[in-house]
Chain A
Amino acid sequence: MRWILSFLLLAFLATVQAVSSAGYKLLVVLEELADKSKYSKYLGDLEARGFSISYESPKSDKVALFTLGERAWDHVLILPPKAKGLGPLLTPKLLLDFINAGGNILVALSASQPTPSGLISLLLELDIHIPTDRSALVIDHFNYDTLSAAEKHDVVLVPRPDAIRPDVKNFFKGDGKGGEAIAFPRPVAQTLGNASPLLTPLIRAPRSAYSYSPKDDVDSVEDPFAVGQQLSLITTMQARNSARFTVVGSSELLEDTWFDAKVKRSVGMNGAPAGNEFKTSNQAFAKEVTGWTFKETGVLKVGQIEHHLNETGSEIVSNPKIYRVKNNVSYSIELSEYSWDKWIPFTPPTGDIVQLEFSMLSPFHRLPLKVAETTLTSTIYTTSFKLPDQHGIFNFKVNYKRPFYTNVEEKNTVTVRHFAHDEWPRSWVITGAWPWIAGIGATVTGWVAFVGLWLWSKPVPLKGAKGGKKNL
């Protein structure tokens, strides 16, 4: 009976987890509920993936991000409001607090609806800049959709993004065949500051794109906000606590019309010839971006961490608090990756390795972790090494931070002590000590022999007046 119960419980847990690794409560902020229908496919996809969606207007009281100090939602999707502000419940400070509390936010911008100033200052805090002219949009005279924007060139067609570095996993490549295009109707460009390592552009504008401000025709052409690859169409920020924040430059991208729309390229790219009409990949791409933002992909979980003494003849005690210098130790860490609805074993992309640091103030060892075992849901990485000849308070540290993967920073503190007085080799084991041991032996023998001789020999009677004890 009991096993059925626990099985049911497990099954229940599994269904709950099937949503997202970070929870299922999603708040969609949109001004008029009527607008819902514009995004019906996109939101339908989300609901189908198990999110329970609440739709609130920014002015409503229920939009509050925190109730009684606790985070009320797991994820927030902010669709561009018509009003100039987001209201007192969605101030930049509250949104930042929401991120600090671990909530994920997806913000969609639109060139036709000016971005609220609260959002702009939030983006500024995160070092994401958007054009000062709120109606500015990205235009590309080469990669536009000839069907819908033959004149204005403001529907930019972008191929699936490449990985930003060869050793970073690409979650947004679709099936990877190429030849697809994502339509960005009237996108708002973002540029990213250089300082923050947490920012990653998910998709960048083509090399020939530029930011154009319809109001300020001449100036924006002469001195555009930014051009080419500096323009980010979708920007991601993963905070140190792994909360995710995504800015999608074009809210229309998520609309039903663009999910189904046929587009036609002006010039060929990525092997796809120009002049063919084909369907956009917007729906699949939106799923990937949203899924990533709401922690359905790219989530790493640390399972068991174990380290133990690896000396012959010593019994294995798991995770001891103290080691001795020059001990041989083994360390293992269990890593899983969340992929849409299940935990799978984590394998780093080719060219990347998971490393272990053994550090005190600075690393004494930095070692690659090797795969020891793969279970259904996890990979166990392990390494063995000899502790340095330095006592102190050390950390086993796995510091795996890669773009698009949640941060893994695991620190296990152990004390490394010095040799105890009885752990040194004994003197007779050390060959260099033999002369000294022989010296001690000789002295002892000599002394005993001398005393024996002294006691054995008869004292010679003293002559003359020198008798008696000398008065000292």
Chain B
Amino acid sequence: MTDSIVEPFLKGNTGRNTRGILRLSILCLIAAAAIASRLFSVILDPWFNFRATKYLVANGFYDFWDWFDDRTWHPLGRVTGGTLYPGLMVTSGAIYHALRALTIPVDIRNICVLLAPGFSGLTAFATYLFTNEMSTSPSAGLLAAAFMGIAPGYISRSVAGSYDNEAIAIFLLVFTFYLWIKALKLGSAMWGALCALFYGYMVSAWGGYVFITNLIPLHVFVLVCMGRFSPRLYVSYCTWYSLGTLASMQIPFVGFLPIRSSEHMSALGVFGLLQLIGFVEFVRSGVPSKQFTTLLRGFVLAVFTIAFGGLVLLTVSGVIAPWTGRFYSLWDTGYAKIHIPIIASVSEHQPTAWPAFFFDLNLLIWLFPAGVYLCFLKLADEQVFVVVYAILASYFSGVMVRLMLTLTPIVCVAAALVLSHLLDTYLTMTSPDAPAEGASDATNGAAKKAIKQDGLRSMRSPLVGIYTTFSKGSVVSALTAYLLLFVLHCTWVTSNAYSSPSVVLASRMPDGSQHIIDDYREAYQWLRQNTKTDAKIMSWWDYGYQIGGMADRPTLVDNNTWNNTHIATVGKAMSSSEEVSYPIMRQHEVDYVLVVFGGLLGYSGDDINKFLWMVRIAEGIWPDEVKERDFFTERGEYRVDGGATETMKNSLMYKMSYYNYHTMFPAGQCQDRVRGVKMPDQGPVLNTLDEAFTSENWIIRIYKVKDLDNVGRNHTAAASFERGNKKKKTTKRRGPKVLRVE
């Protein structure tokens, strides 16, 4: 009965329309699910992007382009328009103005909060398009879109309020790859140009564009090595490269990098190689002499060698910027820790732990190799792309936690390919009649062809089709169970791991009720209300954006870590004794110093735990003045209690963290709950700073930098006088008299 009702909708033209509508509605539902799963909790972060967007909306594009921000990196300021990727802000600004034009008054804050979930819906759609280019199966695309929509690896960077470059960049990444595949398949200059356009957009949005810049040339290079050079390849690549490079050079932050830095040289090299091969192919088609082709091959090889040698020469002589530290750290995971501690100090630049793969991708990670294997079976140009992408991204994601993000799309695609293949195999209602030779042709022509190329005897007459309903049922139900588990896992991860804002900490009381620890906002509010608008705040760079955004006060350093020396200066001020730090703070006109201290509450992300990074970064610039070794005891322990080293006890950071802390406890019971140690009963003495504010749970402590003593004493003497100690009279001088000289 049902068959007869449904049947007209599934056949012929109506059938196609029905399937189209069905597909569209499924895609819409996937997008809706992707957005909905990102709304667990909303905290806007990072604040800088939001601030920049507000500036853009308030002052217009050109002012934003030329924006000089005098409230960060005091006193250097930041040429913000020239040192950021403007794509994110411009996108939000464009949406804002479009909505205003449609007379929908929306606060720019709401756009910023919902931009990442919104774009995740688009990413799901782009993944659908991309996967459809890879597979003929209609379900592969939908599955890939669904995976992309809810994979925790992507959700981690795109929950509501996570207003970072990655929010739109992943969509652009996937969509650029889709356009590239399209251009390559059709050999079309139009699709190539579109690809270049979105590549330009990607460049404007995220520094990770270098991944595309290297992946596409690598794909082309592999294809050329496989002997698959074709005019399609030539047209699509040359269109993409020339237009894309021009587009990328329009971003001030990128500027001339595409022709001057090593990271971009592979794209240029492959471009040159294609010209050579194109020329050779052209000549060969005209001159059929065998010897001549050999000569040409030699010529190509020679030119390639010369070009490569020239590249090396230019790199050595410094015309082309040598590989940057970030690049080296991709190959040697220990490199950053030694040479560029500032990069290593960021938690998301650490090598990935194995469980992270399962945590972020769940069942997709074990479907992933199978998907890559499937691509090998049907190795067309686009499948080569998947293989190349998979290899490259797997490596990089193992090097840096952050790059898990670039792996996620290809894992979703590969897993969808496998699952759709399985489902297509097991979900057919009709069982094949007999193991006849001819049956395979009808069902899987393309696969058959690929199989035929394989020389293996066992593959000659493949088993096609499943015969028993039981095996169909069991496999399908198992797969369904896995998929449901995957959804459960994704929801759990998203709600528990990726939706906990860093600014507000939540904990459970013994009776199960939720307890909110809101010290950060309390402290920022205090700064906002109790300090001058141009009071300079010194803190470790992690809190720079938040202070700039939530407290609206100028900072010395912030999360944009481009100036290592300036950060090292702050590190030196924090890790040196007061006598050394004070002149640094005076010179930088610091009014307040902010530290994060978790000892009372047991909050482990505090500054004492980050302290060694400050020391290391400072040591990189002043190896003679700051030494990491001095912060460890004789036995190599990092201690903060009574057994801490003198350098540790005298450092400004230690003093600021534990100043007055012992007064919180009865004598002999002073304890640091993060380090789990008993603190000495006598706390450190601060002479050059005054305690200005300590938040409810002591997480944030703010100190005011004292002015020079009014009557010319040093701070130690002045503070000692304040405490009521009288200066000792020098009754009898020993040794030669010190004469005053005018």
B66-A421 in contact (CB<8A)? yes
Interface extent on B, as a size class? 35 or more
Residue of A nearest to B66 (CB): A420
Q: Which residues of A lie under 8 Å from residue B708 when comparing CB positions?
A: 240
List A439-472 residues whose CB lies under 8 Å from chain B.
Answer: 472
B75-A392 in contact (CB<8A)? yes
A240 to B: closest C-beta gap in Å? 5
B712-A391 in contact (CB<8A)? no
A418-B731 in contact (CB<8A)? no
A421-B62 in contact (CB<8A)? yes
A132-B230 in contact (CB<8A)? no
A199-B66 in contact (CB<8A)? no
Residue of A nearest to B714 (CB): A195
Q: Which residues of B lie under 8 Å from residue A126 when comparing CB positions?
A: 711-712
Residue of B nearest to A226 (CB): B737
List B38-90 residues whose CB lies under 8 Å from chain A.
Answer: 62, 65-66, 68, 70, 74-77, 79, 82
Q: Which residues of B lie under 8 Å from residue A322 when comparing CB positions?
A: 68, 70
A170 to B: closest C-beta gap in Å? 14
Chain B CB within 8 A of A273 CB = no
Chain A CB within 8 A of B232 CB = yes
Chain A CB within 8 A of B103 CB = no
Chain B CB within 8 A of A306 CB = no
Write the B690-729 contact mask toward A (1 if CB under 8 angstroms, else 0): 0000000000000000011111111001000110001101
Chain A CB within 8 A of B432 CB = no
A409 to B: closest C-beta gap in Å? 11
B711-A198 in contact (CB<8A)? yes
Residue of B nearest to A418 (CB): B79
Q: Which residues of A lie under 8 Å from residue B187 when comparing CB positions?
A: 472
A201 to B187, CA, bound (A): 91
Interface residue tally for chain A (C-beta within 8 Å): 48
A100 to B737, CA, bound (A): 31
Chain B CB within 8 A of A308 CB = no
A121-B727 in contact (CB<8A)? yes
A230-B739 in contact (CB<8A)? yes
A132-B710 in contact (CB<8A)? no
A472-B230 in contact (CB<8A)? yes
Q: Which residues of B lie under 8 Å from residue A240 when comparing CB positions?
A: 707-712
Chain B CB within 8 A of A266 CB = no
Given A121-B726, A124-B729, A418-B82, A198 and B534 touching (CB < 8 A)?
no
Given A125-B727, A361-B587, A472-B230, A199 and B712 touching (CB < 8 A)?
yes
Given A121-B726, A125-B721, A418-B68, A165 and B742 touching (CB < 8 A)?
yes
A127-B712 in contact (CB<8A)? yes
B76-A164 in contact (CB<8A)? no
B721-A237 in contact (CB<8A)? no
B739-A415 in contact (CB<8A)? no
A245 to B709, CA, bound (A): 15
Residue of B nearest to A393 (CB): B75
A194-B231 in contact (CB<8A)? no
State which of B68, B587, B707, B711 has its C-beta within 8 Å of the C-beta of A391.
B68
Chain A CB within 8 A of B741 CB = yes
Chain A CB within 8 A of B588 CB = yes
Residue of B nearest to A101 (CB): B710
Q: Which residues of B lie under 8 Å from residue A124 when comparing CB positions?
A: 726-727, 729
A387 to B: closest C-beta gap in Å? 13
A393-B77 in contact (CB<8A)? yes
A472-B232 in contact (CB<8A)? yes
Q: Which residues of A lie under 8 Å from residue B347 when comparing CB positions?
A: none
Residue of A nearest to B727 (CB): A124
Residue of B nearest to A359 (CB): B75
State which of B588, B709, B726 has its C-beta within 8 Å of the C-beta of A361.
B588
B706 to A: closest C-beta gap in Å? 12
Q: Which residues of A lie under 8 Å from residue B68 when comparing CB positions?
A: 322, 391, 415, 417-418
A172 to B: closest C-beta gap in Å? 15
B540 to A: closest C-beta gap in Å? 20
Q: Which residues of B lie under 8 Å from residue A96 when comparing CB positions?
A: 711, 721
A165 to B709, CA, bound (A): 26
A196-B75 in contact (CB<8A)? no
Q: Which residues of A lie under 8 Å from residue B587 when comparing CB positions?
A: 361
B471 to A: closest C-beta gap in Å? 41
Q: Which residues of A lie under 8 Å from residue B75 when comparing CB positions?
A: 360-361, 392-394
Chain A CB within 8 A of B508 CB = no
A393-B70 in contact (CB<8A)? yes
B444 to A: closest C-beta gap in Å? 22
Q: Which residues of B lie under 8 Å from residue A237 when comparing CB positions?
A: 711-712
A194-B232 in contact (CB<8A)? no
Query: Which of A197, A237, A322, A393 has the largest number of chain B CB atoms within 10 A?
Result: A393
A163 to B: closest C-beta gap in Å? 11
- 5 A-B pairs closest in CB distance: A417-B68, A420-B66, A196-B712, A415-B70, A393-B75
Give 20 new A-B contacts, CB below 8 A, not counting A199-B712, A240-B710, A472-B231.
A93-B722, A99-B710, A125-B713, A125-B721, A191-B740, A193-B738, A195-B714, A196-B711, A201-B740, A226-B737, A237-B712, A243-B710, A322-B68, A360-B76, A393-B70, A415-B68, A421-B252, A422-B62, A472-B187, A472-B230
Residue numbers of A with Cβ under 8 A of B are 93, 96, 99-100, 120-121, 124-127, 129, 132, 164-165, 191-199, 201, 226, 230, 237, 239-241, 243, 245, 322, 360-361, 391-394, 413, 415-418, 420-422, 472
Residue numbers of B with Cβ under 8 A of A are 62, 65-66, 68, 70, 74-77, 79, 82, 187, 230-232, 252, 534, 587-588, 707-714, 717, 721-722, 726-727, 729-731, 737-742
Contact sample, A vs B, 26 pairs, CB 8 Å cutoff: A93-B721, A96-B711, A100-B710, A100-B711, A120-B729, A125-B711, A125-B717, A132-B731, A164-B742, A191-B740, A192-B740, A193-B738, A226-B737, A245-B711, A360-B76, A391-B76, A393-B76, A413-B534, A415-B70, A416-B77, A417-B68, A418-B68, A418-B79, A420-B62, A421-B65, A421-B252
